[in-house]
Structure 1
């Protein structure tokens, strides 16, 4: 989660003071004019950003009332941009209205660099709505404009915005370069709080690069400083980000504590967006700890809060967590719907980490629904995204290392020029830098090894899913013999096994279909029969293909009469298949062998033998009929219902 509005707003608020420090035409006068009456309100609003956002809004609006009577374009632009940044998380149209008013004032402004702040706020609105491509264009324009106007504060702000977005898009090396440069500029103009926020942004990128331990360490550092400074709103953001680092490390208790504290602070600040992000994190912890019902309850609260903000990525993260919870509750259609809704947003934002998780979960859900083909497609997308992310992380880590080495080389060159008369001190400094670089290389090597291990684990899990998909009959799409028998065996091995009926369904005269019409038509007949049976078989019953032209249906909890009626319905359903377009001379019929399980000691093999024997009775009886053979220890088979008229073809 990223709330970089904190940095942008605070930067804008202190511009008047920086104008005095850097020197302007007005400041150079021998008798400077008194401070504008709205200046104090804007300065006070700057301090309130990090503690009480509601106070910031109050002071900014009060400043605008004064500026209506005593115009000052620079100060009014700042007030408008503060409100724009605040509203960008709540009401997009209201935020756009504020930034439009600020843009209209630019021709009257004495500080040209303020246009970079306007561009940045427009970019924030677009980024919150997941329109990252257009947002990046605006950030690029803001960086170029601030550089041209030599406005250090606006340049640092624009670099921060661009750097974070580059990290979101997977360009970690260039993103880190922007964020580190922004951090240095904030230190140069004596804005330590802004520098601290830039450090937080760097930690976010380390988290995205997979270096969760380093990110956790940096968040802890930032959090301590924010607590010392009373920066409550930034604390809520940093706590959430710290929770995400713990979540990535599967440190669930620590993650829960961080998310809970973030939620408490956001609630005290009346900050719905922060509350919603924290609740999403708490729901993820519930899912990880095996409490999907609890996760759904929390997600309902998060969804209600999310509606108060145009943050599309937040909504997608909530839908991802909801899909995981519904999957574990076996509410498969609802789970697939939530995951597909999340997928649309993550694809638009090209957010690789969330895409990988969503593809993988969706593949598992569709596989559990019996939609093996689509499930396999999503599993392939998950593998492709994982490999793409891994390659990108590796490439970007080496690119980052190169930037660090290049920076170190420049520093070394400058040090040689500056300290050429102090050889001993220079040697010590060089040695220290070398050791630091060695530590960096070692740390990156360890991180790369961890990434490789993670990929290996992911591939192992993918192979397990592939084996699951391998238990599906490729031609008809129904489970194969191994899948059906592996599901039946545990039922029969229970201490008090339920009554189970087994039907073996054989297509009559199937060889003649292949001989007269070709194997392609035979395959079509198998698919049509499988489709007809699949539409009639509902849980807890399950279907599979034994091989050739034989299918098997297992019906747990069914008595003989129910099983017999179902068998007749299957037989009649197959007869109703329209084959005129490719089998003009016949209809498809099936013979069915029925058996029931013993109360104890039965096995899939013995049930198959009895059902197969009953099937041969049906064939000997002229086909297109149902015959039954019950286990010997059971009571005599009840009289079968009257057989419907049989239709026989040569």
Structure 2
């Protein structure tokens, strides 16, 4: 097109050009203003200290504890629920392997803060730490329940950091229980999330967990290789605590390979670091490893001397699995010294813990040692019985390792195939983007000028309409639970606050928890579990009428708020709810029992209670209902829970470190 023609067109269409110029300027000004980053609020003075404490967990646990406590001191003057919960999660992690009561105290405070939290995923962090407490105490089944809940809550909240932590905990425990393929899948997912979040130190911990899993699968050489690589990266990053853990686990791999000199070097390195960090639990683990080396070399007296030091340290920790491993090593040493009754006593103590933990490799070793010891004592019947159990356990372990190895290889193959598929899709998208860019550049400028005015008007209208619809939709989504269509926790708390602050008569709060809900998900899948949740929510809506209201707190927990209701009235409603839920047709999921709920009831003291105190008491009553057999109603009175009605329900079912092989 010639310059003359271009100029003629410009003169002919000058009014449209000026209008377009004005619209473009307005649009550019709007988008330039919108694109400007929002003013960054001043960071809370405790925020950086909490971040520092989180990093120090992998270098110096004592420093991490001091940082977290310093942050709590600042938060007393400038409260922030989210930051305080994170600080207390760090302290809970620290205390879970040292002082169970102190760890549970942190959990209690965290639970009272959750209603104020802006980050729903922090509830998953609390469940994760509760699982660590249960695992350290040797209650692996209970620990897994907590980890499953943590994964579910973090997924629902789309909190990837908390999801990665929960996946790591669950993956480690699955490996401990012999479910290697599922454990590997969880650990690899955790590693991938940490990589995406640019948390390399956490990713290294996940790699260490994967190596532990290979060690448990019997692939000691692969585990040794991964430990060696992780140790180099940890040294480069200055992660002193993680180095001690990895050196211990490397020593376990050498122990399984019966390479005693290399095992001694690794265990001694772990011992030196644990002493440098004043870390008694890690020191006890390292001493147990050194004692195992002495047993392997035929030096039982030296082994017993080392184990005596390990036992003294272990008494200051709640780690049941560590105690069992020490007893197993003691039993082996005493057997070598022909102190057979003492050996049997130590081995029997270890056996109790390993049975509860369902740790096949440690069970097999204990059964074998008991079989030989009883035989040497002349008790051939007992010896034969334990030999039979050892053979059965060894066969189960071998079959499990083979099956899980195939499943693991499939996961690795599927992961590799998916990575290649993603790479191909990425290259295809890049090629498509380049083609589209060329096509856009080739578009006729005249057509753009003619159409742009109409497009801009349409865009402005669509933006206004979209903004209005989005505002309405976002408000609805923000206040409604997507799955069950009942109000979510934010909506419930928004209505509960004025009920408590403006009313001069008591109001009551019910926390309703579906009993054994995990079994529905495990047996029928999450889709059927979601259907059950919807039916329960519908039952609650039928049982609770305005001005009372119900909502969902998360997972299988619901809440009902009863304005102008005393304890007796609240208990009547609770019993009605309990009965109505039992009337739900449970045959699609439960063949031998009804869907039941446990309910905790709390009644306010007018002018005194807050949502936090109400939920804290109701939650305590709920826990009493769970401990009391489920399918019942419990109410708090003067800070204590008491029964107001009950049904018949199944008992609760509920180890070891999350990082030690």
Common fold: TM-score over 0.5: yes
Alignment CA distance shift 1:421-1:113 (3 Å):
closer
Which residue of 413, 423, 434 maps to 1:405?
413
**Bigger Cα displacement from structure 2, 252-261 vs 147-156:** 147-156
1:298 aligns with 2:311: no
Distance 1:337 1:105 in 2: 46
**Which position in structure 1 is the counterpart of 2:68?**
60
Instruction: Report if aligned partners of 1:163, 1:174 keep a CA contact under 8 Å in 2.
Output: yes
Matches within 5 A, 1:265-304: 265-304=273-312
1:260 aligns with 2:273: no
Superposition deviation, residue 97 in structure 1:
0.6
Which residue of 118, 126, 135 maps to 1:127?
135
Matches within 5 A, 1:386-397: 386-397=394-405
Distance 1:50 1:329 in 2: 40
**Which position in structure 1 is the counterpart of 2:25?**
none
1:85-112 deviations in whole A, cap 9, x for unaligned? 1111111011001111111111101111
**Which position in structure 2 is the counterpart of 1:136?**
144
Matches within 5 A, 1:498-509: none
**Which position in structure 2 is the counterpart of 1:644?**
none
Which residue of 206, 212, 227 maps to 2:235?
227
1:182 aligns with 2:190: yes
Alignment CA distance shift 1:114-1:388 (3 Å):
same
1:26-71 deviations in whole A, cap 9, x for unaligned? xx98333211111222122223222222111111111111111211
1:145 aligns with 2:153: yes
1:175-219 deviations in whole A, cap 9, x for unaligned? 001101110110011011111110000000000000000000000
**Which position in structure 2 is the counterpart of 1:631?**
none
**Which position in structure 1 is the counterpart of 2:108?**
100
Distance 1:226 1:412 in 2: 29
For these two proteins, the number of residue pairs brought into alignment is 397
**Which position in structure 2 is the counterpart of 1:347?**
355
SS across alignment from 1:384:
helix
**Which position in structure 2 is the counterpart of 1:250?**
258
- Structure 1: state its 5+ residue gaps: 1-27, 424-650
Alignment CA distance shift 1:407-1:46 (3 Å):
closer
SS across alignment from 1:310:
coil
Distance 1:413 1:295 in 2: 54
1:502-553 deviations in whole A, cap 9, x for unaligned? xxxxxxxxxxxxxxxxxxxxxxxxxxxxxxxxxxxxxxxxxxxxxxxxxxxx
Superposition deviation, residue 412 in structure 1:
4.1
Which residue of 318, 322, 325 maps to 2:330?
322
Instruction: Report if aligned partners of 1:167, 1:205 keep a CA contact under 8 Å in 2.
Output: yes
Instruction: Report if aligned partners of 1:116, 1:143 keep a CA contact under 8 Å in 2.
Output: yes
Distance 1:259 1:408 in 2: 35
Distance 2:361 2:160 in 1: 34
Instruction: Report if aligned partners of 1:50, 1:230 keep a CA contact under 8 Å in 2.
Output: no
SS across alignment from 2:98:
coil
Distance 1:360 1:409 in 2: 42
1:199 aligns with 2:202: no
Alignment CA distance shift 1:402-1:47 (3 Å):
closer
**Which position in structure 2 is the counterpart of 1:156?**
164
**Which position in structure 2 is the counterpart of 1:501?**
none
Distance 1:404 1:239 in 2: 26
Distance 1:64 1:421 in 2: 48
**Which position in structure 2 is the counterpart of 1:506?**
none
**Which position in structure 1 is the counterpart of 2:125?**
117
Higher relative contact order (CA 8 A, sep 6+): 2
SS across alignment from 1:65:
helix
Instruction: Report if aligned partners of 1:227, 1:235 keep a CA contact under 8 Å in 2.
Output: yes
Alignment CA distance shift 1:290-1:79 (3 Å):
same
**Bigger Cα displacement from structure 2, 116-125 vs 46-55:** 46-55
Distance 2:202 2:383 in 1: 46
SS across alignment from 1:257:
helix
**Bigger Cα displacement from structure 2, 274-283 vs 412-421:** 412-421
Which residue of 386, 390, 393 maps to 1:385?
393
TM-score (norm 2): 0.59
1:374 aligns with 2:388: no
Alignment CA distance shift 1:53-1:417 (3 Å):
closer
TM-score (norm 1): 0.60
Moved >3 Å (runs of 4+): 408-423
Distance 1:58 1:406 in 2: 44
Distance 2:423 2:242 in 1: 37
